[in-house]
Amino acid sequence: MYGLPEDFDAGTFVGCELETVTFASNTIHLVFGADHSVTVTDHLRYRIENGEDLRDDVLPVAESGLPALLGRSVERAEVRRPGDLLLHFKGGGMLSVEDHDEHYESYSVKTPGGETFV
């Protein structure tokens, strides 16, 4: 809906380990330590290993392979405009959250710089 701010630094996720994945009826909450998290309100895309096809987890989630990324650290992070956040993990794997709805929030990101709604 809003996109990420021009000055958003995705690199703040580099070195953070995916510690918790929580599924609720209307959110997927990903925790990367005390200061970093992503809360998805519609869907996210991911792959467990490099070269795999992307998987989609669409809310409400009944089954997911996303917990296979637990314990992996972010190796590289990038923003693709208008507001897509991609997190690449050590040992392979990737997570993509997308700003895909012009009327509703798609996800939020919490970093030491504050919380951003996209």
DSSP string, 47-112: ESSTTSPPEEEESSPS--SGGGGTTPBEEEEEEETTTEEEEEETTS-EEEE----SSS--EEEEET
For residues 40 and 30, what is the distance between their CA atoms, to the nearest angstrom? 8
Asked if residue 52 belongs to a domain, the reply is: yes
Give residue 45's pLDDT: 97
Does 5 fall in a domain? no
Report if residue 2 sits inside a domain: no
At 39, which CATH number? Answer: 3.20.190
User: Domain range spanning residue 51?
Assistant: 10-113
Res 1 pLDDT > 80: no
Average pLDDT over residues 70-93: 94
For residues 12 and 21, the answer to whether their CB atoms sit within 8 Å is no
14, pLDDT greater than 70:
yes
Q: What is the pLDDT of residues 27-52, one digit of tens each?
A: 999 999 999 999 999 899 999 999 99
Residue 104 within any structural domain of the chain: yes
Indicate whether 108 belongs to any domain: yes
Eight-state DSSP code of residue 37: E
| Identity of the residue numbered 18 | L
Model confidence band, residue 68 (pLDDT cutoffs 50, 70, 90): very high
**Assigned domain for 4 exists:** no
Q: Considering its fold, how many domains does the chain have in total?
A: 1
pLDDT given at position 6: 87
Q: Is residue 89 part of a domain?
A: yes
